[in-house]
Amino acid sequence: MFDASVMPERLASFLTRHDGAREATVVAYERMVGGYSRLMAWAEVHWSDGTHERVVLRGDPPPGQSMMETDRDLEWALLTALSAVDELAMPAARAYDATGEHLGTKCIVLDHVEGDSLQAVLNRVDPAHGYTDHARELVDTMARVHSIDLAPLHGVIEVPDDWDAYLGRLIDRFRQAEHGHVEANPFLLYVAAWLDAHRPPPLPLRLVHSDFQPANIMIAPTHDGGHEHQVIDWELAHVGDPREDLGYYNVYSSASGPNLFAADPEGFLARYRERTGFSEEAVNLDTMAYFSSLAAITVYAQVLGGAGAMAEGRNSGLMTTYTLNALTVGHNNFLAGCTPPPGGAA
Amino acid sequence: MLSRPTTEQIILDCRHELLTTIDAAVDDPTVKVAIQMMENVLRNCAARAAHEIAWMRDETAAMVAFATDVAAAHPASTAVDAALAAYEAGRSESLHLDDVCATYDLAGRAMGAALEVVMAAGDDARHLTGRAILEERLAHENEIMGEWAFVGRA
């Protein structure tokens, strides 16, 4: 994937070998814009039986040039397991070059979704008209992710069984990120102490996407002329507290709007509770603020790790330097979510 | 050395050239996104070049004063004592950037240890003082960041 000029031939050979019955010809191949953590490309494939289709490639960047390190083997296993879940619409995971022998890097081949991302759609909406329908659909999609039976995921990803211990480990990731970084970061120790002291009521542990935001939701047409949300980019998915996705969505969309939660916070949460069956004691504005601080740690720790690797000369690349500002966005959200004691600013 | 134009001015001039000359000559959308990111990084670097040593020195003084106060108010806070001792042993008055960063790091470790002590003790007054220092640090980060959003994500 590092050399686009050789990719049509290599991809065609890989797909032909994987299909086993038909021969593939790649007639177009182009890098895609917008993938931050992985290399992305699409390819137009003509098959020897006369059919043709477009596929998407999702591969690891060159060593030392990734803004975050995640495991393609794990992602492929998860995508394969999730493909069997009827409640969840997502592009089919088609093939995997687990060694990089064929495509130049570890690479997953997915179905291409004929449609825009929700982010692209939202960018075209006139704010004066509001985002009500989009907010409802976004909540429903998130609720579907959080309603998936975890049974197919056992043996694929870790499935913790104790909420309190899980939350403690999640909070501790702030301390681990601080201790593992190349310089002191007092924000992280402050937030960890605050989150420990203000634990919310528990919820059942569920599948958490961890990067739940509109650029990772594709609007796909359906056979009945309607559309459906297809969720992509599962590299950070794990089993955890479902409010992590609520909080992360709020954090992300505050930095890259529009923020559909902020438009009607109570309505947004009420619909989420209705769709999931979770209580108002567990899902409310206070717990939303709590998880807006807590949930960002998954992506934050990855970005911080990239920054530390660059400081130590183990990483380079524009994406690492560009996303340093995401750490500042994180610090803003940490302080906003961790309210001061009485006597401080509101 | 030549101090004028300043590093900030030179970097901002490069940024201008990037946006007016190079971007105009590029059609590849992935390269255009990279140019937008580089524009942002250059702007960040210009702000850092102009202020980072002064900001780190100011924050260092505030963090060490805070940790010293916490150590006095909570005599059992051995982690703060140790961090302050490490700061005293390792601090430098040098204004070379690497030395300022190293001193800032030591002060930050004392600050972090002190924050953990006041939070565990429920010392709200010092909690607020420590938080104010974090807010000052964040104000500097925000000035470096400027206007920022995820470019190219749609």
Nearest residue on chain B to A116, alpha-carbon basis: B154
Residue-level pLDDT at B154: 67
CB atoms near residue A54 (< 10 Å): 13
Residue B154 in domain: no
- CB pair distance less than 8 Å for A183 and B112: no
| Whole-number Cα distances in Å, A74 to A55, A134, A158 | 21, 31, 11
| Contacts for A19 with CB less than 8 Å, ≥ 6 apart | A47
Across the interface, of A318, A325, A341, the residue whose CB is closest to B44 is A325
Give per-residue pLDDT as tens, A61-115.
887 777 677 889 999 999 999 988 888 899 999 999 999 999 999 999 999 998 9
Position A34 confidence tier, pLDDT thresholds 50, 70, 90? low
Note whether residue B53 is domain-resident. yes
Q: Is B30 on the interface with A (CB under 8 A)?
A: yes
Determine the structural domain holding residue B102 and report its residue range.
7-145
Q: Which domains does chain A have, with CATH numbers?
A: 7-111 (3.30.200.20), 118-337 (3.90.1200.10)
| pLDDT at site A254 | 85
Q: Do B134 and A120 touch (CB under 8 A)?
A: no
Using 50, 70 and 90 to split pLDDT, how confident is the model at A116?
A: very high
Residues of B in contact with A197 (CB under 8 A): 119
Residue where the block lists tokens 């070998």: A17
pTM score, whole prediction: 0.87
ipTM here:
0.95
Which residue among B29, B128, B135 places its CB closest to the CB of A343?
B128
Question: Domain for residue B152, yes or no?
Answer: no
**Beta-carbon contacts of residue A46 (< 8 Å; ≥ 6 apart):** A24, A25, A26, A27, A52
- What is the tally of structural domains in chain B? 1
**C-alpha distances out from residue B73 to A45, A71, A341, B123, B125, Å:** 70, 47, 19, 10, 11
Which of B9, B84, B38, B118 is CA-nearest to residue A194?
Answer: B118
Three-state DSSP at B149 gives coil
Q: Is residue B81 part of a domain?
A: yes
- Whether A346 has a pLDDT exceeding 50, the answer reads no
CA distance B116 to B99: 26
**Which residues of A fall below an 8 Å CB-CB distance to B?**
31-34, 36, 116-117, 119-120, 123, 178, 183-190, 193-194, 197, 215, 255-256, 318-319, 321-322, 324-325, 328-329, 331-332, 335, 340-344
Q: What is the 3-state secondary structure (H, E, C) of A181-245?
A: CCCCCHHHHHHHHHHHHCCCCCCCCEEECCCCCHHHEEEEECCCCCEEEEECCCCCCEEECCHHH
- Does a structural domain hold residue B135? yes
- In this predicted model, what pLDDT tens digit does every residue of A195-237 receive, in sequence order? 999 999 999 999 999 999 999 999 999 989 999 999 999 999 9
Is residue B51, in this structure, part of any structural domain at all? Answer: yes
